[in-house]
Amino acid sequence: VTDPAIIKLRAPESDEPGTRVRVLGRVHRLRSQKDVIFITLSDGYGFLQCILMGDLVKTYDAMTLTLETSIAIHGEMRAVPPKQHAPNNRELHADFFTVIGRAAGDKEAITNRVSADSDPQTLYNNRHLVLRGETSSAVMKVRAATLRAFRRTFEETKMLEVTPPSMVQTQVEGGSTLFSFDYYGEAAYLTQSSQLYLETCLASLGDVFCICPSFRAEKSLTRRHLSEYTHIEAELDFITFDDLLEHLEEVISRVIGYLLEDEQIAQYVKELNPDFKVPQRPFKRMRYSDAIDWLKEHDIPNEEGQPHQFGDDIAEAAERKMTDIINQPIFLTHFPAEIKAFYMKKDPQDPRVTESVDVLMPGVGEIVGGSCRIDDWDELIAAYKREEMDPSPYYWYTDQRKYGTSPHGGYGLGLERFLAWICGRYTVRECCLYPRFTGRCTP
Ligand code: 4AD
Ligand code: MG
């Protein structure tokens, strides 16, 4: 007698009714009755209902089975009517099983049925087990599909992937959130953004993108700030601000399209976020100054509790309120230079403001920050001065304006925020494998 083939639960064609198979996985659900044990087996690819009957139920291993125990089951695949709600309408009738690794049985609640009221610290401490749950694993699968969809879109748009360094000696988004460390006796930082490096690639590589970690020493605990996050950044050469907005709308729309054309991913999104609405094009465009008026009209105060004024930063709470009320994607554009990063290009029509854009999504707020970049050498030097930055570490960045400058621009998208929006998650911490935020670097 030869062993039947091991099947992975992702391949429905290999588990036709009548075939004899061997499956390897962990006990995801368990229901024991007097004469029969129902197991939902999970192998990371999918789920399979397995039935133990007769003598098998009377074994020591069967009687002491716990959730998360890894087992091998041999048996025959049978079809079951859809009304029984078995995954893929299949059932494995076991004639034999072996325990591979017993599970202690003390963390079942954490692993399988995380409830909204579970203590968050317990959940973060046990993230390695929480990941086994259906919700967390579905989010991770949507995450992988999102990375695939972005790469596919960039490939189609003829953009080249590069991988800039994470250890740097320059800031991009202001000094306050830099993580610094000792680099062979010199001060160095973990990068906040790869933008400046992407800009240096345009001349030789054309339009480029990268998908790398960015690091921010964010002081406050919020729903949407991580200390390490996955940053999808792109930089485009010889473009106008309108080109940038067009490109962003196209990329976001294509990525959503690719996600939802995959049946399995569409199903996860539907289960995670039943209210998800595919954004209608064209996306709403709103100037910063109009947003300030809108906030005033709707009595949404600034951080000091005062009515918003031109020049105010639109803080997270106000931004989210506005996005939720408007309830569709917003391209918020033309922020004043004072509240934005040093590299942003001034609007030639109104030099008080920059050619900048934040993309805001309902439920999350800002998921993208982008702009056209200062391409004039003198202006860049003036910007360093205005921001009280020492230009010397930026010599290589400044050089781009000296050796064949060009009008260009780009953006950065926080993958975890994008996922929080698509998957309807309360916080970005649920949208990465092992979240890093103030006070947490474990597991
Ligand atoms: O708006 P930010 O700071 O822009 C930049 O870093 C630009 N240099 C990007 C560029 O033009 N290439 O960050 C971009 C995006 C934000 O819109 C947000 O989605 C995400 O990065 N982000 C964070 N995500 C999670 N945790 C944090 N602490 C984040 N900070 C920014
Ligand atoms: Mg931003």
Per-residue model confidence as pLDDT tens digits over 15-51: 778 888 999 999 999 999 989 999 999 999 999 999 9
Tell me the mean pLDDT in the region 303-309.
94
Task: Among 196, 214, 221, 225, name the best residue to mutate to test ligand 1's pocket (greatest count of ligand atoms within 8 A of Cβ).
Answer: 214
The residue to mutate among 216, 358, 428, having the most atoms of ligand 1 within 8 angstroms of its beta carbon, is: 216
Confidence of residue 11 (pLDDT cuts 50, 70, 90): low
379 pLDDT band (50/70/90 cuts)? very high
Paired tokens of 210:
């990268």
Question: What is the rounded radius of gyration, in angstroms, for the C-alpha atoms of the chain?
Answer: 26
Does the beta carbon of 225 sit less than 6 angstroms from any atom of ligand 1? Answer: yes
Claim to verify: residue 258 and residue 320 sit in the same structural domain: yes
Task: Look over the chain and give the mean of its residue pLDDT values, rounded to a whole number.
Answer: 94
Domain identity same for 419 and 274: yes
The domain in which residue 202 lies consists of 129-431
Residue with the smallest CA separation from ligand 1 atom 18 is 414
- Give the residue whose CA is nearest to atom 31 of ligand 1: 414
Residue 442 forms part of a structural domain: no
Residues 208 and 67 both lie in one domain: no
pLDDT score recorded for residue 110: 76
Asked if the structure places residue 295 within a domain, the reply is: yes
Give 7 Cα–ligand 1 centroid separation in angstroms: 42
pLDDT in tens, 167-219: 999 999 998 999 999 999 999 999 999 999 999 999 999 999 999 999 999 98
Whether 357 lines ligand 1, by a CB cut-off of 6 Å, is: no
State if residue 197 touches ligand 1 by the CB under 6 angstroms criterion: no
- Shared domain for 175 and 247, answered yes or no, is yes
Give yes or no: residues 89 and 143 share one domain.
Answer: no
- Provide mean pLDDT across the span 133-159: 97
Report how far ligand 2's centroid is from the alpha carbon of 147 (Å). Answer: 21
400 Cβ below 6 A of ligand 1? no
pLDDT band, residue 86 (cuts 50/70/90):
confident
Q: Is residue 306 part of a domain?
A: yes
Ligand 2 centroid to Cα of residue 378, in Å, is 25
pLDDT confidence of 118, banded at 50, 70, 90? confident
State which residues have CB under 5 angstroms from ligand 2, the bound ion.
369
Q: What is the CATH number of the domain that holds 23?
A: 2.40.50.140
* Nearest ligand 1 atom to alpha carbon 216: 28
195 alpha carbon to ligand 2 midpoint, in Å? 13
List the one residue out of 352, 353, 363 whose CA is nearest residue 319: 363
The answer to whether residue 441 is domain-embedded is no
Strands lying side by side in the sheet with 167-168: 167-168, 186-190, 179-183
Which ligand lies nearest to the CA atom of residue 373 in the structure? 1
Examine the predicted complex and report whether its ipTM is higher than 0.95: yes
For residues 258 and 326, membership in a common domain is answered with yes
- According to DSSP, the residues that pair with 29 across neighbouring strands are 40
Residue nearest to atom 27 of ligand 1 (CA): 225
Residue range 241-265, pLDDT digits in tens: 999 999 999 999 999 999 999 999 9
% of the chain at pLDDT higher than 70: 97
Assess if residue 123 is contained within a domain. Answer: no
In a domain, residue 41? The reply is yes
Long-range contacts of 164-172 (CB under 8 A, 24+ apart): 164/191, 164/194, 164/197, 164/198, 164/210, 164/212, 165/191, 165/197, 166/190, 166/191, 166/212, 166/213, 166/215, 167/191, 169/393, 170/196, 170/393, 170/394, 170/397, 171/389, 172/196, 172/341, 172/343
Q: Are residues 67 and 201 in the same domain?
A: no
Shared-domain flag, residues 281 and 201? yes
* pLDDT score for 254: 98
Same domain membership, residue 280 and residue 136: yes
**Whole-number pLDDT of residue 259:** 98
Query: Within this chain, do residues 282 and 342 fall inside the same structural domain, yes or no?
Result: yes
Q: How far apart are CA 13 and CA 336, in angstroms?
A: 58
Confidence (pLDDT) at 106:
82
CATH number at residue 307: 3.30.930.10
pLDDT exceeds 80 at position 3? no
| Position in ligand 1 atom list of the atom nearest CA 193 | 6
319 lines ligand 1 (CB under 6 A): no
